[in-house]
Amino acid sequence: MTEHQQAAVAGGRRSAWREIVADFSRDVRTYPFGWSKAMMWIFILSDLFVFGGFLAAYAGARMAATQPWPDRGHVFSLTIGGAEVPLLLIAIMTFILISSSGTVALSVAASHERNRSKTAALLGLTLVLGACFLGMQAYEWTHLIHEGFLPSSNPAGASQFGATFFMITGFHGTHVVIGLIFLARVLLRVLRGYYDRIGTWEQVEVAGLYWHFVDLVWVFIFAFIYLI
């Protein structure tokens, strides 16, 4: 047991703060991992602010609207066998994105064992699921635009809905596209044995962090844009 861990076990909250102060006042790096993982975490923090700002702006725009807010259950429904199922497409998209987050987590676990084929297979599965998500989002947007939903106006109620919906889901979709490119590059490098050559597999974990973040943002988009 290191000195740190002993201190943590011994003294609860007080030593927790001591540990933080010690980490930040140390003359060596604060975070105990490679720079790319540290930078990915800092990027995720900044991106949390981007989406947090968007969702706050959405709340403000929705509060300021004088017309009724569109009924999302109806707007995003699919008709199956003559019956209208509310939000069905969005529920499927949510399950697909959660599944892709699960396969990435398993892929990162396999990368810790330096298992090339297992890491690559799970990354490939993630790419397929991510592409499915993106395809369904493209379908959703096309469908909405055909029904007359635009950033400026829509036939279902307050015009602020289109502006916030297209901006926020559009930004999230852009993150999915970038994530797919990122994961594809990591997948190629895994297949070529690049990480064995440079001696660290940390980049798989870094790509995984990014993809989990995309899923994390979707959790809040699903709750605030579609359900509430």
Partner 1 sequence: MHGHADHVDHSEHQAHLPVGVYLRVWFMLFILSAVSYFVDYFQVEPLPLRWVLIVLLALIKAALIMNYFMHLGSERLSLVYTILLPPVLILALAAIVIAEGSYISMIRALFGG
> Rule CB under 8 A: which residues touch partner 1?
2-4, 16, 19-20, 22-24, 26, 28-34, 41-42, 44-45, 48-49, 52-53, 55-57, 59-66, 73, 86-87, 91, 94-95, 98-99, 101-102, 104-106, 109, 112, 202, 208-209, 212-213, 215-216, 219-220, 222-224, 227-228
The CA distance from 118 to 116, in Å, is 6
* Shortest distance in whole angstroms from residue 17 CB to partner 1: 8
The distance in angstroms from the start CA to the end CA of the chain is 48
CB-based contact 217:175 (threshold 8 Å): yes
Here the tokens at position 176 are 């999915």
* Shortest distance in whole angstroms from residue 185 CB to partner 1: 20
* Shortest distance in whole angstroms from residue 204 CB to partner 1: 13
The CA distance from 145 to 147, in Å, is 5
* Shortest distance in whole angstroms from residue 182 CB to partner 1: 16
Here the tokens at position 28 are 């060596």
State which residue, 24 or 197, has the beta carbon closest to partner 1. 24
CB-based contact 70:157 (threshold 8 Å): yes
Q: How far is CA 146 from the centre of its chain?
A: 28
State which residue, 60 or 142, has the beta carbon closest to partner 1. 60
